[in-house]
Amino acid sequence: MDSKIVLLSFLFLCISAHPDSSQPLIGDTDGAWSLIGFSGYAGEITMNPLTGSSYFYWFFEAIKGNALTDTLPLIIWLQGGPGCSGETGMLFENIAPFTISNKSEPVPNPYTWASDFHIMTIDHPLGAGFSVAKASYDMKNTTIGSTQQLYNLLVKLNTKYPWMFNRPIFIFGESFGGHWIPAIAYTILMNNNNPVSSQIAHFNLQGIAIGDPWTDPITQSQKYSAYSVATGLLNQEEFEIIQTYEQQVFSEIGLGEWADAENDWGSITDLIINYAGGINVYNIRSYETNYNLGGIPSWLDSTETKNLLHIPQQLHWVQCSGSVYEAMTYDIMNTAINYLPFVIDTIPVMIYNGQDDLIVNTLSTEAMIANINWPGIPYFQYSQKSLWMVNGMVAGFAQTYENFSFVVVLKSGHMVPHDQPINARDLAYRFVMGEGWS
């Protein structure tokens, strides 16, 4: 199996790219939408009027709310990749109030997070999903560069629809969201503290939550051998081979040889998949390497859906963009951990991990956590774990110290809201409402 295919998405094995339309977007296209009893706003927000590059966002109004008048919290969801679409989180991972049947028909989703909160997803960075990078310089190749674009989008939306943001805000996401989310949280909090920028926009960011985060490659890349042996995937000879690759990746990251490190990191997962008989890198309990999105892609790319969501017809939905991934190749093996100490000092942070995820496994996440330069980490590591129960069943184990929590989700792989939709909704509700885990 080609390592680039495995790692392109962190979510799916299908890669596509935007056709290069000759028609630039001039001005925003967004507006209200309504479908089978649910409503919100969606569309393109132009970020560079000279090129037509634009962000796509999709806002879902809470089922029990009125976004114009209430103060229910807003959850902003960012997908991983780098380069995967937030629509997969909404429709495939059970977050939106509806999903799409195999016949490409919208149906209510009983597991939605919109039962209690307003939800927004953004196809980030430019080039992902329905977002468009019309010029090469609009597609950034670092977390820092793309984060500034994302912040500028939030400022634009806040200016256009202040009622969307006049409430507590939480940012959720997964996978390469371990880069996106600490960076945008840090940027928001720093700008909130800046007298000049806070006059333009002040966001009431109250917490961030990251599932199976790829944040600190130098620590996380070193735990594949240990996790794979502990879960019975490798014999001793295979274990030693994987350890050799881990040492090589460690050395390459230390020397700043980012492309070589990314390539050898891909070889690690390729080898484990092969040794274990073709397991799914996102869930070791599965041998189905391709996730079936059913009717979602055709529904998103239909004329009717584009009209509904105010998407220009010439745009085509991108599940996971190879162009974005290639642009970010050197950043994939770089760290985003340095954003976290300030963020944890300022707002609650939750990291959660599916127990059966290989590509960002629990041992790797725990190693990353141990490397966060926050004074509370030693106390966190010795804090007591709590049984997290949902509907009388053990859903996982939670560990908390002050502003920081880590939750292991049982019987779940990389995509926790997909694998455990009821428990994922409970996880989100507890964190946003500050209810704790006992």
Give the SS3 label for residue 122. Answer: strand
pLDDT of residue 1 exceeding 80, the answer is no
- Residue 103 domain-assigned? yes
CA nearest neighbour of 308 among 31, 15, 94: 31
- Residue 49 domain-assigned? yes
Q: Which run of H or of E encompasses 388?
A: strand 385-390
pLDDT of residue 23 exceeding 90, the answer is no
pLDDT of residue 222 exceeding 60, the answer is yes
pLDDT of residue 431 exceeding 80, the answer is yes
pTM (predicted TM-score): 0.94
Amino acid present at 72: L
- Residue 192 domain-assigned? yes
Same domain for 268 and 173:
no
- Residue 289 domain-assigned? no
Say how far apart CA 20 and CA 433 lie, in whole Å: 44
DSSP 283: B
CA nearest neighbour of 60 among 94, 85, 10, 84: 94
- Residue 306 domain-assigned? yes
Contact 345, 403 (CB under 8 A): yes
pLDDT of residue 21 exceeding 60, the answer is no
pLDDT of residue 364 exceeding 70, the answer is yes
pLDDT of residue 198 exceeding 90, the answer is no
3-state SS of the chain: helix, strand, coil percent to 5?
A: 40, 20, 40
Same domain for 329 and 208:
yes
Q: What is the mean pLDDT of residues 365-393?
A: 97
pLDDT of residue 116: 96
Say how far apart CA 22 and CA 301 lie, in whole Å: 19
Same domain for 328 and 256:
no
233-277 per-position pLDDT tens digit:
999 999 999 999 999 999 999 999 999 999 999 999 999 999 999
Same domain for 175 and 150:
yes
Q: Round the average pLDDT of the chain to a whole number and report it.
A: 93
- The count of C-alpha atoms lying within 13 angstroms of the C-alpha of 306, restricted to the half-sphere facing its C-beta, is 14
Range of the domain at 208: 31-215+294-352+421-433
Amino acid present at 372: I
pLDDT of residue 7: 39
The rounded percent of the chain whose pLDDT value lies above 70 is: 94
Say how far apart CA 327 and CA 146 lie, in whole Å: 11
Same domain for 165 and 222:
no
Same domain for 193 and 164:
yes
pLDDT of residue 26: 58
More confident call, 23 vs 299: 299
Same domain for 225 and 330:
no
CATH code for position 192: 3.40.50.1820
Give the C-alpha distances (Å, rounded to integers) separating 80 from 87, 106, 214, 270, 325: 11, 24, 9, 20, 10
Same domain for 233 and 190:
no
pLDDT of residue 100 exceeding 70, the answer is yes
pLDDT of residue 437: 85
pLDDT of residue 6: 34
pLDDT of residue 34 exceeding 60, the answer is yes
Same domain for 180 and 97:
yes
Number of domains in the chain: 2
